[in-house]
A and B are shown apart, each in its own frame.
Chain A
Amino acid sequence: MNKDKALEELFLAQKPQFDDSEAFMESLNKRLDAVEYIKQHQEATIRRYKMALVAAFVVGIISGGITIVYMLSTPVRVPLFTFQVETGWLSWLANNSRLLTTTALSLLVTFGLISIVGNIQDIRRMRGEVGFRIN
Chain B
Amino acid sequence: MTREGFIELVEQEQEALRGFLLYLCCGNKEEADDIAQDALVKAYLSSAGYQEKGRFRSWLFKIAHNTFLNHKASCRTTESIDEARTLISNTAADASFEHQDLYLALRTLPPKERSAITLFYLNGYNIKEIAAITEASEDAVKKQLSRGRDQLKEKLKL
Residues of A within 8 A of B (CB): 1, 3-4, 6-8, 10-18, 21, 24-25, 27-29, 31-32, 35-36, 39, 130-135
Contact = CB atoms under 8 A, between A and B. Distances in A.
A4 B156 CA distance: 13
A57 B19 CA distance: 55
A35 B102 CA distance: 36
B46 A132 contact: yes
Interface of B: 3, 7, 10-11, 14-15, 18-19, 22-23, 33, 36-37, 40-42, 44-46, 62-63, 66, 70, 94, 97, 99, 102, 118, 120-122, 127, 142, 145-146, 149, 152-153, 156, 158
B122 A133 contact: no
A22 B68 CA distance: 23
B146 A24 contact: no
A16 B44 contact: no
- Of A21, A25, A28, A130, the most chain B CB neighbours within 10 A belong to A28
Nearest to A7: B121
Nearest to A13: B99
A24 B18 contact: yes
A133 B41 contact: no
